[in-house]
Amino acid sequence: MSVDGIDEPVSRELIDYCAGLPGVVVGASMVLRDRRGRLVVVDPGYKPGLDLPGGMAEAGESPHETAGREVREELGLDLAVGRLLAVCTTSAATFGRVVLDFVFAGPTLTDEQVAVLAPADAELDAVYVLTPDEALPRFPGRTRRRVSVALEAEASGACLYVVDGREYRPPKERVWHEDEPIPAGTRVGRAAGWLFDPDGRVLLVGDPDGGYALPGGGAEPEDEDALATLAREVAEEANAVLGKITHVGYLSDPDGGDVRSRSAALIAALGPLAPDPATGWSWSRVLVTPRRAAALLGGGYDTRLPQALAAQRIAHERLGVPILDDDSRVDVPPEGVTFA
């Protein structure tokens, strides 16, 4: 409690109690970009792969102080620490103790600062300025997942909580409304599509660690409706050009929040692989049967399967897409493909 804005002193008993609690390891890093949007990354000589500028907290140091100090020590730059992008928890099963990594945004570096970038710490072998597409494959898996989430948070304006490399989302049983129109006046927060090739396979986009998602994403203020959101997102994530499109259903939030629309569409073409403007890195693309898509997508097969089968049925009835029941998979080549 505080009186007139003055905090009451902490008792010795409480200090002793806190001192005896299990400790955690704290690290902090900073996302730094140049004027072209490239990332500043370091090559630590004492471990494999690249990393963001950062390191472990010293005694009595707050995470943002750690990030600023590490950038000074590693790059020789005294920079303002920006907003928090992500808090990443690694369970004790990995390192023997819980590790908390705090990832902060940093300022955009000037051309002059970039020109003189060099290791200021003997533990670093090199400093690079790379596009996210160039940098992400060179991070170790655990670091890559942390950086990927941080870049998503940077683009969206969110602050994300990550557990063992995956964004934490509270369990929520959204209700699937098959072939029902979205109620008038209801806000659509996200739109995604079951996008079919002429043989009946659907398009999934993949992240650097092998996770898959339906093409789609969050609504932006400039989007007129859910279909506009979908068209923009599939162009950004998959460089996809859509043909005929139809509504499949929506997922409602039992707590009364916004809904998530689902559409089915024919793919006219998939252009060359290109970086997503939101994150700067490129999604891989794969075409699989709807049943296999339900198994690959997060959220559980039993939860995804009704949606997948509804999309397959509606696409067959309204768009003329054949029903494909084999387990085939086609990896889309980087140069893309055009469907007749």
The string of pLDDT tens digits covering residues 300-314 is: 778 889 999 999 999
Residue 3's beta-bridge partner residues? 6
- According to the model, what pLDDT value does residue 113 have? 95
The band of 6, judged by pLDDT with boundaries at 50, 70 and 90, is low
- According to the model, what pLDDT value does residue 46 have? 87
Structure token pair of residue 217: 């994403």
Full-model pTM: 0.68
- According to the model, what pLDDT value does residue 23 have? 78
Average pLDDT over residues 153-164: 87
For the ranges 78-87, 138-147, 227-236, the maximum mean pLDDT occurs at 78-87
- According to the model, what pLDDT value does residue 2 have? 44
3-state secondary structure of 209: coil
pLDDT higher at 73 or 9:
73
Q: What b/e sequence results for 219-244 when a residue is b if at least 16 CB atoms lie within 10 Å of its CB, and e otherwise?
A: beeebeebbebbbbbbbbbbbbbbee
> Residue 9 above 90 pLDDT?
no
In this predicted model, what pLDDT tens digit does every residue of 96-109 receive, in sequence order? 888 999 999 999 99
Average pLDDT over residues 29-43: 95
- According to the model, what pLDDT value does residue 1 have? 43
Tell me which residue of 206, 208, 215 sits closest to 233, measured CA to CA. Answer: 215
- According to the model, what pLDDT value does residue 209 have? 67
Count the neighbouring beta carbons within 10 Å of the beta carbon of residue 302. Answer: 8
> Residue 79 above 60 pLDDT?
yes
Average pLDDT over residues 319-338: 91
> Residue 165 above 80 pLDDT?
no
Burial class (CB in 10 A: 0-12, 13-18, 19+), 18: exposed
Tell me which residue of 93, 77, 87 sits closest to 29, measured CA to CA. Answer: 87
DSSP-derived secondary structure for 4-60: TTEEPPPPHHHHHHHHTSPP-EEEEEEEEE-TTSPEEEEEETTSSS-B-SEEEPPTT
- According to the model, what pLDDT value does residue 185 have? 85
In this predicted model, what pLDDT tens digit does every residue of 179-219 receive, in sequence order? 999 998 888 999 999 999 999 999 999 877 678 899 998 88
184's CB contacts (< 8 A; 6+ apart) are: none
- pLDDT exceeding 70 applies to what percent of the chain? 96
Q: How many CA atoms lie within 13 A of 1 on its CB side?
A: 1
> Residue 325 above 80 pLDDT?
no
Given a contact cutoff of 8 angstroms between Cβ atoms, the answer to whether 55 and 74 are in contact is yes
In this predicted model, what pLDDT tens digit does every residue of 240-270 receive, in sequence order? 999 999 999 999 988 777 899 999 999 999 9
